[in-house]
Amino acid sequence: EAQVTQNPRYLITVTGKKLTVTCSQNMNHEYMSWYRQDPGLGLRQIYYSMNVEVTDKGDVPEGYKVSRKEKRNFPLILESPSPNQTSLYFCASSLLGGSGGGGYTFGSGTRLTVV
C-alpha cells in the first residue's frame, strides 16, 4: 500500500531532550515536506526537500533540523525541544512538488508534547 509512515504517533518529552520523528514513504516520491498544525494557524511548512541531499527552509524552520540521505526517508530532528514546539506534526510527500502537479500524501501525524 502506498503510504507515508511517521513514528511515533504520540510523544511526550521534556525541554531540551533531543528527539527525532521519522518519516518514510514507499512511493519513490522526490518531494518531501514537514508541517506543523496548530489551532487557528493551519498547516505551516517547517522544511522541505526536493530530492536527496537537497533541503530548504519552510516558513517556520527555527528549532528544527532535517536530513535527506535517502529518497524514502526524511527525519525531523528537534535538537533542544521547547514547549512552543508542542504541536501536531505531519510529514508529506509528492511525486514532483507543487509546480509539478499532483497532490501530497500525508502521514498519520505525530502529536508532540514538550513539558
Residues 70 and 10: their CA atoms lie apart, in Å, by 25
DSSP for 49-84? EEETTEEEE-S--TT-EE--SSSSB--EEESS--GG
> Which residue number, 50 or 77, has a Cβ lying nearer to another protein?
50
> Which residue number, 74 or 90, has a Cβ lying nearer to another protein?
90
Sole binder of another protein in the list 25, 55, 72, 107 (CB under 8 A): 107
Sole binder of another protein in the list 1, 40, 62, 115 (CB under 8 A): 40
List of residues contacting another protein (CB under 8 A): 31, 35, 40-45, 48, 50, 58-59, 90, 92, 96-109
